[in-house]
Structure 1
Amino acid sequence: MITQHMLVTGQVQGVGFRWSAAKLARQLGVTGTVQNLPTGQVAIVASGDEPQLADFAQQIKRGVTPWAVVHDLKITAARTQRFSDFRIITR
């Protein structure tokens, strides 16, 4: 199991992106969190095996909803974390 931080830039707030990302993560067996940032970006912490995370990232790049437009996806390795599920963080 590995954990990655993903920073998604583009039109990703107010378009159902977090909900769709959480639904996708659950379908793929990825655990972690997703949250909007004050910068207009979305932050994701995702844990899973390498093929799961590669598939998840590939689909995140496509925008996961018809209304989202992803301009950039930055992925960095993180200390492995274990989550019980995938949750949307709201402030």
Structure 2
Amino acid sequence: MMKKRQFTIYGRVQGVGFRFYTAQFARKLLLCGSVKNLSDGSVLVIAQGVTEQIDSLRQWLQQGPPTAKVERVIEQDYLGERHFSEFSIER
């Protein structure tokens, strides 16, 4: 079953390649969605895929790339109307 989930990641997650590595990992999982930096220093990830794909991404986001220091991940249902056909990095 297809799901859309939203993750907000806090910690040292900007300026460390977090968006690049997240997009790379999500594309490897064949997920659609996006990743972008937020003005408060956190990173927002929206992912669309099946349960197993979302679960794998969730586990990866808890650690992030070696350059990051993830302190907290908040996960919610994505309630937006946006549809995704690929995984993109947003500015």
Question: TM-score if structure 1 supplies the norm length?
Answer: 0.93
Q: Which range moves more in the overlay, 77-86 or 12-21?
A: 77-86
Residue 18 in 1 paired to residue 19 in 2?
yes
**Structure 2 gaps, min length 5:** none
Secondary structure in structure 1 of the residue aligned to 2:25: helix
CA distance in 2, matches of 1:78, 1:85: 16
**Structure 1 gaps, min length 5:** none
Deviations 1:6-65 (A, max 9, x none): 0000000000000000000000011101000010000011100011000001011111x1
Secondary structure in structure 2 of the residue aligned to 1:20: helix
CA distance in 1, matches of 2:56, 2:6: 15
Q: CA RMSD in A?
A: 1.2
Residue in 1 aligned with 2:34?
33
Residue in 2 aligned with 1:68?
68
Q: How many equivalent residue pairs?
A: 89
Q: Give the AA of the match of 2:67.
A: W
Q: Give the superposition deviation at 1:82.
A: 3.4
Residue 49 in 1 paired to residue 50 in 2?
yes
Could you tell me the percent identity over the aligned residues? 35
